[in-house]
């Protein structure tokens, strides 16, 4: 599992990428076309993806569409547990991976994102 500091840095990086895409249409186009190259150019960081993986950026800024992303299934074999989670499992407890289900507004014109 990532440390809290690493998670915060990842969130800050994600925020800076999205903010730049909202501000700069050329960056957004580059991000969609070649996300690794666009992010490296923006941040100066080198991105090395795991073997066999690719990064995809999808433009979901059309406000007339409600997007539904289908994530990959979580494999318990791929999870790394921290000390607290290991103690729970060792004691016979169950670790449930986090899952986020967005609420779809009944009235899309009043979804709070505008």
Task: Give Cα separations from 29 to 33, 57, 59 (angstroms).
Answer: 6, 10, 9
pLDDT interval class at 105 (50, 70, 90): low
Could you tell me the pTM of the whole model?
0.60
What pLDDT was estimated at residue 58? 93
Does residue 43 or residue 88 have the better pLDDT?
Answer: 43
The tens digit of pLDDT for each residue in 15-55 reads 999 999 999 999 999 999 999 999 999 999 898 888 888 99
pLDDT above 90 coverage of the chain, percent: 37
CA 61 to chain centre: 16
């Amino acid at each position: 599992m990532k440390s809290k500091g690493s998670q915060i840095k990842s969130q800050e990086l994600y925020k800076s990428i999205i903010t730049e895409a909202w501000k700069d249409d050329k960056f957004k186009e580059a991000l969609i076309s070649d996300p690794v190259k666009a992010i490296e150019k923006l941040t100066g960081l080198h991105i090395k993806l795991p073997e066999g993986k690719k990064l995809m950026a999808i433009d979901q800024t059309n406000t007339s569409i409600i997007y539904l992303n289908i994530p990959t299934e979580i494999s318990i074999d791929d999870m790394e547990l921290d000390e607290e989670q290991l103690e729970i499992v060792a004691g016979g407890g169950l670790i449930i991976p986090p899952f986020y289900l967005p609420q779809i507004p009944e009235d899309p014109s009043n979804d709070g994102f505008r």
